[in-house]
Amino acid sequence: METVRIESRPSATWQVLNLGLEPFGVTLRRQEELVRQRLLGIVPDTLILVEHPPVVTLGRAKPRGNLLLDPAMLAAQGVEFFEITRGGDATYHAPGQLVGYPIFDLRQHGCDVLRFCRGMEAALIATLAEFGIVGEAVPGRAGVWVRGKKIASLGISVRRWVTFHGFALNVTTDLAGFQVIRPCGEDPGIMTSMAATLQRPVSMDEVRRSVAERFAEKFSLMEASGQTGAV
């Protein structure tokens, strides 16, 4: 695990945790601990960047109607299943997808959950633009879209103004994996990736770096002339 600290002003420090490939359950426990530490002021705002082995997650209070395979059938295909507390519906994660979990104290970011979600979308749209992809936010449909297809999913939880869970950006994801769910109630064919859009390979390291930099900008966590260092 690589930790990068980013200074923006004397009163604001954040860290980016680049975890590489890590099982979802391990990262979920890591999030819980970071939320606890953030509430106590032990750690600064933190952005986890990670890839997961194949896993399906289901948001809070959602029926299982958007699971096209039940948990036992998923397990038989080597896909884990978790019911979790974030907003949103069924989501699929797999290698080639950059998953981001911001553990941010919203009292430092306007105490506005919707504004925070729009900021995440804006950061992802700015990242896509660096790669020549025009992404957009669609009113009433969380996430980021490219020509009518969904390239990034979004869903957070908030505990005493501290956020967790977050976003999933399809970089080089094998889109066939989405056939096990209706992603957030949509047809599986609605999903796309950066590689599929560009019809060429995309560097996960470059995307990871861009996402960290765009988050720093969108949430005023770095001066315009600041440097993030390697992530």
Q: With beta carbons less than 8 A apart as the criterion, state whether 128 and 146 touch.
A: yes
CA dist 129 and 179 (Å) reads 28
| Contact status, residue 129 vs residue 122, Cβ threshold 8 Å | no
In this structure, the strands spanning 162-170 and 149-159 are antiparallel
Nearest in space to 181 (alpha carbons), one of 101, 26, 62: 62
Q: Give the active site residues.
A: 184
For residue 59 the two structure tokens come to 């948001």
The helix/strand/coil state of 33 is: helix
**Burial letters 159-181, b for 16+ CB under 10 A, else e:** eeebbbbbbbbbbbbebebbebb
Q: What whole-number distance in Å separates Cα of residue 137 and Cα of residue 43?
A: 31
Q: Tokens 């896909």: give the residue.
A: 79
Distance CA 33, CA 63 (A): 28
By the 10 Å C-beta count (0-12 exposed, 13-18 middle, 19+ buried), 63 is classed as exposed
